[in-house]
Amino acid sequence: RMYWTILIIISIFFIIKKVVNKISLRPLPMPKIDKYLQEPRPSNNQQALQVIEVFATWCGPCRKVIPHLNALFVDNPDTAFIGISSERQNEVEQFLIECPIAYNVALGLQGEQLMKQTLSAGIPHSYLFLYKTLVWHGHPNNLGKQIAKYRQILEQGKNQ
C-alpha cells in the first residue's frame, strides 16, 4: 500500500512539473519598455538576443549577481541587456550609485508581468528572448550558458 502511495505522489509531481514547464515557456513577446534610466546601447531593439533581468533594490541576491551580469554584458556586445525594477525612480537611481549596473536599466511593471506570465517565483530572474520571443528564463547564474547556446544557433543559421 505504501508503495502505491509513493508511486502516485511521484507521478503527480512529474505531471505538475510538465504542465508548469509548458505554461512557463509558452511563446511570449518581448515587453515594450516605457521608461529607461540609462541606455548605453541605443541599438538594442535591433539585436537578435535580448535579456531582461528583473531585480529589486532591496534584494541581496540581486546585488550579488550584478557583477556577473555586468561581465556577461561586456562579453556579449551583440546581446541587449535590460534590468527592470518596479520601484520608484529615486530608489533605483540611489541603488545605481551604490551598485553600478553597466547595462540598460528601466522602470516599470514589465518585469512583474513577465514573472506572473511565466509562473516565476523569485528574483533575481533573467529572461532570454530570441527575435523578441521568450526562449529561456531562470537564475542569472545560468544565463551565460543559454546566451552561448543561442548565439551558436544563430551562427549555424547564418552559415546555412
* CATH number for the domain that contains residue 134: 3.40.30.10
Is residue 34 within 8 A of residue 92, CB to CB? The reply is no
Please name which of 78, 95, 77, 80 lies closest in space to residue 37, comparing C-alpha atoms. Answer: 95
11 assigned to some structural domain: no
Res 23: pLDDT: 46
The grid coordinates of residue 25 equal 515557456
The strand pairing partners of 136, in sequence order, are 128
48 assigned to some structural domain: yes
Which amino acid, 59?
Answer: C
5 assigned to some structural domain: no
18 assigned to some structural domain: no
8 assigned to some structural domain: no
13 assigned to some structural domain: no
CA dist., res. 61 & res. 160, Å (int): 41
93 assigned to some structural domain: yes
CA dist list (Å): 118 to 21, 22, 39: 9, 9, 26
Residue 100 belongs to domain spanning: 27-158
The helix/strand/coil state of 150 is helix
CA dist., res. 131 & res. 89, Å (int): 29
CA dist., res. 15 & res. 17, Å (int): 5
Res 68: pLDDT: 98
If one counts the domains in the chain, the total is 1
Which amino acid, 114?
Answer: L
Res 18: pLDDT: 54
**Which ranges in the chain belong to alpha helices (H)?**
2-24, 60-75, 89-98, 110-117, 143-158
The grid coordinates of residue 67 equal 557583477
7 assigned to some structural domain: no
pLDDT tens column, 106-140: 988 778 888 888 888 899 999 998 887 889 999 99
| Chain centroid offset of residue 40 CA | 19
Q: Which residues of the chain have pLDDT under 50?
A: 20-24, 43-44
